Amino acid sequence: MQTISVRCKLQVPPELRQEIDRTLSGFADACNQILSVAKRDNCWNTTKLHHKVYKPVREATGLKANHVCQAIRRVIGNAKAVKEVHKFRPTSLNLDTRTFSYIEESQTVGVTLMCGRVKFKLSIGNYQLALLKGQSPTAATLKKTKLGDYYINICVNLPTEPTGKTPKVIGVDLGRREIATTSTGKTWSGQQIQAVRDRYSRVRANVQSKRTRSSRRLLRRLSRREQRFQKWLNHNISCQLIREAKELNAALAFEYLTDIRQSLNQKPRSKTERRRTNNWSFYQLRMFVQYKAAIVGIPVVFVPPAYTSQTCARCGHVHTEKGKSFRNGKKFKCLHCGFEFDADLNASLNISALGMSVIHPESPGMSCQLEGQLSL
């Protein structure tokens, strides 16, 4: 099963907005109290922390029992996800089967607030209706946007097709110049997203110099627009990658690029290049591909990125002199066999070969020449 989140807008009557805000504030206050105790006692075990904070937090905030339990889980989960949690804001509320219910016949949800159980009508379209059809969700998250609207993200489980060995592997090379290049020859240019990011960066620089309340609101709107465009683009690319892999009955292979930003920023780079590298959203694209591939049963494998851009996809050789490469910008020319190719496409072919060795360990794999014979 693959768990996904279905975002649904709530129709909230004016008289209930205050009750939702009161519950959100109480939940955030509870999280902050729990966080302070966890830091003070260095206690990050859910059960031990529960015994320390449950009664005092519930008495101080007036929350329901399950809301306090969810607040403890929220604090522990956030502490594991990020290096340091500073403060929780009253923007969301975790719900479980005791504090949330979905009624498919009337398209309503029941949510337990501090005042008790309240039902809200959903304002959704056919996409959400199809995902929620026949579902009995047991978890959700109530959220309040910066514009004052209320949404509920309902967790649903979708059946997934079993993954197995596939006869083909599509290698996907990720980059900034070309967002993605496949070993089948398809590319997605990064010029548009780079132009959009550069434009927003210039606008932000002008707005930040004003230091007014309206300028801060404008900065928030610009940030949301940029994020929405990036998310829309990555969703489109991931859908096309999944569609091609399904048509060819192939697996998808990616480079394991964790900590790539840190290694790139250690090199001498201009301020503009550093900003562009830090804005590179390869991880979001990878996550979109992973959950969509799981639903349709497409295997996704990850290979080490070492020498994938420097190795000749035809003969497997790497430049004999350390620090030099056959690659020059978008061109790749092997001085050993004379092979000339697009550099990103050459890298994707190497990723495909490495992915094949993961899917089919009995395959010969690939090797390159680097001060002798180095097996990848």
Contact between residue 190 and residue 175 where contact means Cβ atoms under 8 Å apart: yes
| CATH class of segment(s) 168-192+227-375 | alpha beta
DSSP per residue over 72-101, as a string? HHHHHHHHHHSS------TTEEEE-TTTEE
Contact between residue 332 and residue 342 where contact means Cβ atoms under 8 Å apart: yes
DSSP per residue over 269-289, as a string? --HHHHHHHHT--HHHHHHHH
Phi-psi category of residue 264: left, alpha or beta, with phi > 0 → left and psi -120 to 50 → alpha: alpha
- Break the chain into its structural domains and give their ranges: 2-158, 168-192+227-375
Q: Against a cut of 0.85, is the pTM above it?
A: no
- For residues 313 and 171, give the distance between their C-alpha atoms in angstroms, rounded to a whole number: 12
Contact between residue 177 and residue 372 where contact means Cβ atoms under 8 Å apart: no
- For residues 206 and 218, give the distance between their C-alpha atoms in angstroms, rounded to a whole number: 11
Q: What is the pLDDT of residue 112?
A: 92
Q: What is the pLDDT of residue 323?
A: 62
pLDDT tens-digit map of 159-193: 777 766 678 889 998 887 888 889 888 888 878 88
Contact between residue 349 and residue 183 where contact means Cβ atoms under 8 Å apart: yes
Amino acid at position 40, single letter: R
C-alpha dihedral sign at 161, 163, 169, 172: positive
Contact between residue 153 and residue 140 where contact means Cβ atoms under 8 Å apart: yes
In a 3-state reduction of DSSP, which class is residue 11?
strand
Task: Give the residue among 241, 290, 282, 298 at the shortest CA–CA distance from 3.
Answer: 290
Find tokens 């990064």 and name the residue: 190
Contact between residue 159 and residue 18 where contact means Cβ atoms under 8 Å apart: no
C-alpha dihedral sign at 300, 132, 101, 114: positive
Contact between residue 84 and residue 116 where contact means Cβ atoms under 8 Å apart: no
Q: Which residues of the chain have pLDDT under 50?
A: 369-376
